[in-house]
Amino acid sequence: MSDHPSYEIFIADPVPQDVIELVPNGDERMFSPLSITLVSGDRDAVLVDPPMTIAQTAAVGDWVESTGKNLTHIFVTHGHGDHWFGSAELAKRFGAEVVNTARTIEHMHANLAVREFFWDALFPGQIPATEVVATEVSNNAIELEGHTLKVIEVGHTDTDDTSVLHAPSLDLVVAGDVIYNGVHQFLREAQGDGINAWLRAIDTVASLHPRLIVAGHKNKVLDDDARRTIRETREYLTTAAAVLAERTTALDFFNAMLQRFPTRLNPGALWGGATALYA
């Protein structure tokens, strides 16, 4: 058993979307920053949530190579393409296995089915030719030099059927989009019971009592403090639910949330959610 597992994060900076209209606050439409996590033992490593574009995938591959670790597994927390389109390429480059839950695999196929209309429209020519090469993770666990990384299914968060990776020996949860850190949360799929379901998922993460959380979308100047990120992710959702109940238009909702959370990155993500919630 390796004594000192560790983790590092690669932040893929925001890339512009091919959308002409500006966000109501005047911003250009951008995609949120992406967090790609490498959990390493002495020799081996596990990569969580590979990025989206050809350029990001190449940069993450070079970063993994520079660590000198042997990449054994790639784990994907949920089916949104920004968390896995680069997985087949990286699996091939390092001879690694892509593993995740059966539900995530279904969701990956669904994202692949809309890539032309959704992902390629937002990022023309930038999304890699890809396929789903993932297999179902056995026993919801990935072994890393004698340390068990546990896959925990948490249900609906910013989309359906999401999961997190818990590394007890590191006091760490790699949380995908269950927890956000200084970035506007994606509420496009929050209709109906969406916000309550997301809050329940956060309770599940909190019950693991991690000290550290890597959020799938984080502001790179912020730390990975679990208590703060859990509190702030909850606060954003409960505020969104209250504002939804009192505001009648997408623009009013957007302005109220922006005023309440002025330092979060990417108001464009907030606007994307607002337009869907008031559609």
Would you tell me which residues interact with Zn ion (CB under 5 A)? 80, 158, 177
Amino acid at 5: P
Instruction: Kindly tell me which of 29 and 80 has the beta carbon lying closer to Zn ion.
Output: 80
Instruction: Kindly tell me which of 155 and 168 has the beta carbon lying closer to Zn ion.
Output: 155
- Closest approach, Cβ 200 to Zn ion, in A, equals 17
User: Which DSSP helix (H) or strand (E) runs through 60?
Assistant: helix 54-67
> Across the beta sheet with 44-48, what order do the strands follow?
6-12, 34-40, 44-48, 70-75, 97-100, 135-136
- Closest approach, Cβ 1 to Zn ion, in A, equals 33
Q: Are 83 and 216 in contact (CB under 8 A)?
A: yes
Distance CA 63, CA 61 (A): 5
Instruction: Kindly tell me which of 158 and 224 has the beta carbon lying closer to Zn ion.
Output: 158
Instruction: Kindly tell me which of 10 and 198 has the beta carbon lying closer to Zn ion.
Output: 198
Distance CA 182, CA 95 (A): 34
User: Any idea what DSSP says for residue 3?
Assistant: S
Distance CA 245, CA 222 (A): 31
Instruction: Kindly tell me which of 94 and 236 has the beta carbon lying closer to Zn ion.
Output: 236
Nearest to Zn ion by Cβ — which residue?
Answer: 80
- Closest approach, Cβ 69 to Zn ion, in A, equals 26
- Closest approach, Cβ 158 to Zn ion, in A, equals 5
> Alpha helix locations (H) across 114-185?
120-122
- Closest approach, Cβ 76 to Zn ion, in A, equals 11
